[in-house]
Every structure is written in C-alpha cells, then in structure tokens.
Structure 1
Amino acid sequence: MVRQIIEIDSEKCNGCGACAAACHEGAIAMWDGKAVLLRDDYCDGLGNCLPACPTGAITFVEREAAPYDEAAVLAKKAAALRGTAPVTRSACAGSAVQALRPAETAPTAAEAGPVSYLAQWPVQLKLVPVEASFFSGARLLIAADCAAYARSDFHRRFMAGRVTVIGCPKLDEGDYTEKLAEIIRRNDIREVTVVRMEVPCCSGIQRAAETALRQSGKFIPWQVVTLGRDGNIIE
C-alpha cells in the first residue's frame, strides 16, 4: 500500500539517537553510528521522531510500504521486556515524546504500582512540543511544580482526564506565555485549568496562561485553582 512513512537522510544524521528515543514504536535503531528504519510495519507514520531530530535528517514521504502492524510492535516490546529481543532505543529517555495512556482513560485497579493519571511525556513546559497528538481534543492542565506536592490526591483530583504541563516561573528561565499561546493556537484544546500555589511567585504561571489564552485568539473555557501551603483549595 502507498502511505505516509518516515525517511532518514544518513548524510544529515549525526548519530545523536534522539529520534530512536522519541519513537515509542521502536521503529528506529542506531546502526553503525546512524539512525535507520528497522521495518516499515513498525512505523505508524505519525512522526514523533521529526521534532526530535536536531539536523532535519527525518522527513515524511509517500511510498509503497507495509501497513503499520501494531501487533508486531507490541510483540517486539514484550520480547524486549523478557530479554529475548534487542532494545533498539538510545539517547536520553527524557527526549521521548509519547502518550502514556489515552487522556480520558483512568488506570484500572489491576495495574501494578501506585495509581498515576499522567497521560503523556514529557510534562515540563520547556520540553513539551508545541504540537503533539496527545494535545488533540485535550483538557489542558497547567500546573505549578510545587502544586502536586501540596495534595496527596493531586493525580486523581486534577490530572485525571487531562494532559499535564508543569513549570516554575521563579526557577525556570524565560517566560511561558509564547509557548503556551502556540500550544493553544496549534492544537484542539477543549479547556484549560491552571493549578497554582498561593505564594506570590506562582502568579507568574497564572499570568502566562491568561495572556496565552488571549494571544491564541481562541475562546476556551478556563479556570484557576489556588492551593494553600496546607493543600486546601483557596476559594
């Protein structure tokens, strides 16, 4: 079948491995210092690897290719976990952009480990791309770094069913306004919730979100929730 698929220019590839880390299907591997597409049916054609590439070595092409085979990808991942298949990703795991679960889907009681409602990765505002599939139709949570530590039920109360981005206007360099405006402008964001602490420095993240909403030119329902240092919601 003819479909959209990635193409890697080996001349432009600098071997950094960022694309392999960004591809959560494991379609890209590093071979002899260069990125290579392992198999056509491992590539879903969505291109999470494109923004990760610092040299522009990856592009989309339309060509004859095997259809994306999700079952083969899942089997490969399972084999890697069992230690019966090589793990082909490299570079820093923090550079991978991926959806961890559908934003509207809560984890079940059968899932191992503590309950988490994190819907995607990364979450830090400096690292989140301005366009990503997990933003499509998303309810966006913009949270101050400290807020999650103030309430033990932060995941269930605020993150469930939302895509989360976090930041600290006091510690992070620069301003979030422009990036937030681009995220809202370029994606189908359904609503915005800002969760901040009562401390003065947190006013920066609220101000950035409010300004970004105005600059985006969109009319989106939004709210601000302020937490006290004891975790209580301040009306």
Structure 2
Amino acid sequence: MTAPAAPVFAPGGTAVRRDVARGRVWSATPCAVLADDGATLTLTVRPGTETLAPARWTAATRADDDAGRLGCIEDLATGRWELDHWTWRDTVVLSRFTAGAPFSVHRFLTPDGRPLRWYVNFERPYRRTAIGIDTLDLFLDLVITPDLSAYQWKDEDEYAHARRLGVVDEATHRWMDRARSLALAQLLDRLGPFAPDPAAWTVPPAGPLPTLPTATLSTPAEGG
C-alpha cells in the first residue's frame, strides 16, 4: 500500500509545532504558515498566541527559577508530566524548518519588525502530521546577533543535565556534535537559512492569531 503523501500547508493556514516524547505531547504551539514547499516550512508566532507547555516549565519560567527548569528534564526522563497553558509574549518569531535538518532556525523581532537575534534550536528532524510537524527539542541552542557577526551557546547546563539523565544518550550526543558543526558551518559561510534572503525573514502583516486544534493532544503515530 502506498503511504499517504505528507501534507503541505497553505500560506495563511495553521501548522502546529509539537514536541513529542514517549508517544506523548511535550509542548504544542500553533503557528501561522508563511510558506511551504514540502521540504522547507516557514512559520511565524506572534505575541498573544496560546500554547501548551510542561507545567513545571511554565511555573519555573514565571518564577524565574533556573532549578525548576532543570527539573522539567527530570519529568521528561521519567515520562511523567502535565501540560499547562502558556501565552507567547513580547516578540514575533519567524521560523524555518527544513526536512532532515537537525535544527530549526528562528529570527526574533520586535512586533514592529526590529531584529533582536537569530536562534538555532537543536532538535530531532521534523515529521509532518495532519496538523503540523512533530519534533523534540534537545535543549541546546545557539544565539546569534542580528548581523550574524557573533554567537554564543545557550542552555548548555540543560543539555548536560539531559545527558546525565539519559534523555540524550551517547549516540544522540555524537549526532549533536555533528549538528553543531553543521550549524556553525552554515552560519560562517552564510549558507542555508543564513544566506542573504530578506524576503524570507520579513515580518508579515498581522492577522488573526492561530489556535490549537482539537487534535493537538491526539497520540502521535510515532514517539519523539
């Protein structure tokens, strides 16, 4: 039997980015679709968007509690977590997800379009679903200045904790080393998402905020 074709999402529609682990949803964000050619999916999130996130993370973030954020990884390791509502705030995010890539690339801007930073989120290559894409954040991030001239690694403590708990095993760690090298090579050579392409990173006109569909918490066909 021929497998059904992966969905391609129409500009202006909604695609839900979910993090999935142990066959359960770890987080879910409804995004507005800017472009999709079947391989590269470009999305945006605006302030006021209602999302789902691990309850321990939302509590820790509201309290500015770094130890609590590390505790979220323990929940992921044990497979026991609850979800809470979280409202995205302060920034517009333009995101590019490329099939097979070990990271997604994001550009953070003020609501009026002033660039704040680039952000590389290391994660499992995405899998398309009927409502969007499923992946799994692997904690480590690369933060880059708006002009691409400097960068720094972020959340290395979370990544180290995930390694200690076995959330990131040795094979995944080696895979992440290659992903780091790839991201830096693309940045330094201005390739892929870092190639000059102003149209790809322009803030679109404001529209209705997307919402999470009823199928958001349906059991994923494959765990993250």
For the aligned pair, the TM-score class normalised by the smaller chain equals: under 0.3
Tell me the TM-score normalised to structure 1 length: 0.26
Tell me the TM-score normalised to structure 2 length: 0.27
Give the structure with the higher percent strand: 2
More relative contact order, 1 or 2 (CA 8 Å, 6+ apart) = 2
